[in-house]
Structure 1
Amino acid sequence: MFCVLKMFDHYGDYGTAETTYIREPKSGGFTDLLPGGVAFIKLDLEKGTYKVTDRDDSLIVFSTVSHDDGLTDLEFRRELFNSATDSAYHYGAKDAFVIEGPVKTPVDEYEAELLKEERAIRNEGDFE
């Protein structure tokens, strides 16, 4: 049995960030939380939220990441992705997939695409 806690952090004029997380059981560990060690990540860039779910679409983690005005959309996407994958692996995922509509992309492939986009932007900046 796991205890789900919801927290709200207030950031003044920036608004409220909501985080839902699972408290570790007395016995320790989260071995029963993700059967087969598979997690699914859904990113919502507009709202700045991510969800980590199991195979049955049961919610494991839901969290909000504040969008710093100094970040580009790509940098924010990276920050949201990193937070989501950290959460998935923290709760026992051995494999994780990013869900975008009907497409399930392994996190390694998703990160490779992010790196490619980041590299392209850096290379564009070298010629300006």
Structure 2
Amino acid sequence: MTTTTDPVDPDLIGIVHHALRRDLGRTLDALSLVAAALHVPLYEEARALRQRQQAHDLVRSLAPPLDAGGVPVLLVGGLLDTPWLLEPLADWFDLLHCRTAMAPVGFGVDCGERTTGRVLRALEELVLDTGRPALIGLCQVL
């Protein structure tokens, strides 16, 4: 047995979707205020993860329509920076079609000479792998 239904108006779907997102956003905002007031365990950590996702979304939305042709970029973090903290910047370079690598500087608190040696080795490896000169991006997140 075959049944047919009237097609749903796409404009109606858009209106319902927008209303649901708006109401869900208001509900989440209210819950967020309650959780903050009650000092719910791990609330700040969950909020930080949400903010990180918002930062990733912002990076994606601001990427200019540019093709850098695979130019190599070595990101070098500063004091207490980790690859996790530099990911939004690496994502932005990836959207520009760069070949992004991160220098292994740990938390940026080691001996300057050892850290410089690791950065130079990472730069040399990137240049040898790509066969092109590389850009160096010095980053200080904190």
Structure 1 and Structure 2 fold alike (TM over 0.5): no
Ranked by relative contact order (alpha carbons within 8 Å, sequence separation 6 or more), the top structure is 2
TM-score of the superposed pair, with normalisation by structure 1: 0.32
Rg larger in 1 or in 2? 2
- Of Structure 1 and Structure 2, the greater strand share is in 1
